[in-house]
Amino acid sequence: MSLPIAVLISGSGSNLQALINKMEDEILDVDIKMVLSNRADAYGLKRAQAYGIPTAVLSHKDFSSREDFDTEMVRILKEAEVEAVVMAGFMRIITPVFLNAFPGKIINIHPALLPCFTGVDGQGEAAEYGVQIAGCTVHFVDEKMDHGAVIIQAAVPAYPGEDPDDLRARILEQEHRILPQATQWLAQKRLTMNGRFVELEESDIEPAALDNKSLVNPPLEGRF
Q: Does 150 bind ligand GAR (CB under 6 A)?
A: no
x/- map, 180-219, ligand GAR, by CB under 6 A? ----------------------------------------
- Closest contact distance (angstroms) between CB of 166 and ligand GAR is 14
Is 110 designated active site? yes
Binding residue count for ligand GAR, defined by CB under 6 A:
16
Choice among 60, 110, 139, 176 that is catalytic: 110
Q: Binders of ligand GAR among 17-36, rule CB under 6 A?
A: none
Residue among 39, 44, 102, 183 that touches ligand GAR (CB under 6 A): 44
Q: Is 111 in the site for ligand GAR (CB under 6 A)?
A: yes
DSSP letter for each residue of the chain = -PEEEEEEESS--HHHHHHHHHHHTT---EEEEEEEES-TT-HHHHHHHHTT--EEE--GGG-SSHHHHHHHHHHHHHHTT--EEEESS------HHHHTTSTT-EEEEESS-TTSS-STTHHHHHHHHT-SEEEEEEEE--SSTT-SPEEEEEEEE--TT--HHHHHHHHHHHHHHHHHHHHHHHHTT-EEEETTEEEEPP--PPBPPP-SS-EEESPPBTT-
Q: Give residues in contact with ligand GAR (CB under 6 A).
A: 9, 11-15, 44, 88-89, 109-111, 122, 146, 172, 175
